[in-house]
Structure 1
Amino acid sequence: MKFWEASPAAPTANEVSDQSTEVTGKTEAGAILTITAENADGELIDTKTVSVNDGEAPSAPNVQGNVKSSSETVSGKTEANAEVTVKAGDNVIGAAKADDKGHFEVEIEKQEKSTILSITATDAEGKTSKAAKVTVKK
């Protein structure tokens, strides 16, 4: 559930006719819209609820602390509910989902000193962030 500091602006919808196959319009990212269809008698035919996407990839994850050769997790913060992937070179070594506040902890196998890890976040829209790069310390 999202709480707004102020109510979001009312959405605007483009004209819809009996030939339309989609409804388009504009509102704020993160808003939740409920669209209802009624027949000529005012009877409810269908309801659809949608969440408005921001259309942008998440920012690169912020990795907290150092990753050491003895580390078995990589943790940090990213976009809420994003899928976080950790790679060593081209190999995926761990993945986990961030919580609803964006905190994540990915389990990994211990890595050798100087290994470069790439950490990305992928949102519900399938957009992937730029990689945060971390070098494994001793």
Structure 2
Amino acid sequence: MSHGTSATSPALSTASRTVVALFHEELADVRFPDVDAPRVSAAYATVSEAHERVDAARRVLEAALAEEAVALEALERLSQRALGYLQDRPELAARVEEGLGRPKRVEPEVSRRGRPKKSGIAQLDIVPSDAHDVGADEPIAAE
């Protein structure tokens, strides 16, 4: 029985590892109704083959991840150089800032006399519920 040519061996439970070893050695000629050395060896071979495929896929994945990291680093360096050039073009630099999720720079308004505007809040006129009790035909608007 081959234990595979993989750099690592399958993660077997202690019980499975013991059974495989026993049926490979001392119990090689023992047969139970549904368990014998050939069946245990075949099951171990199936696990070993699957493990080798997993190892191969893992190596491919690790290589792809390394390639991706190199490509991402190259893109990051290129992007940083481009951002340096964009500093001379404020309209494009503003788009980059937006893309980064940074708020647009808003130039402060020249202060005017009087009360500042309420931005983004709707002004509501609220009429007290007892306003109709005053005897007037029209509701009294809140000030």
TM-score, structure 2 normalization: 0.18
Rg larger for? 2
- Of structures 1 and 2, the one scoring higher in RCO (CA 8 A, sep 6+) is 1
TM-score, structure 1 normalization: 0.18
Higher strand share: 1
Higher helix share: 2
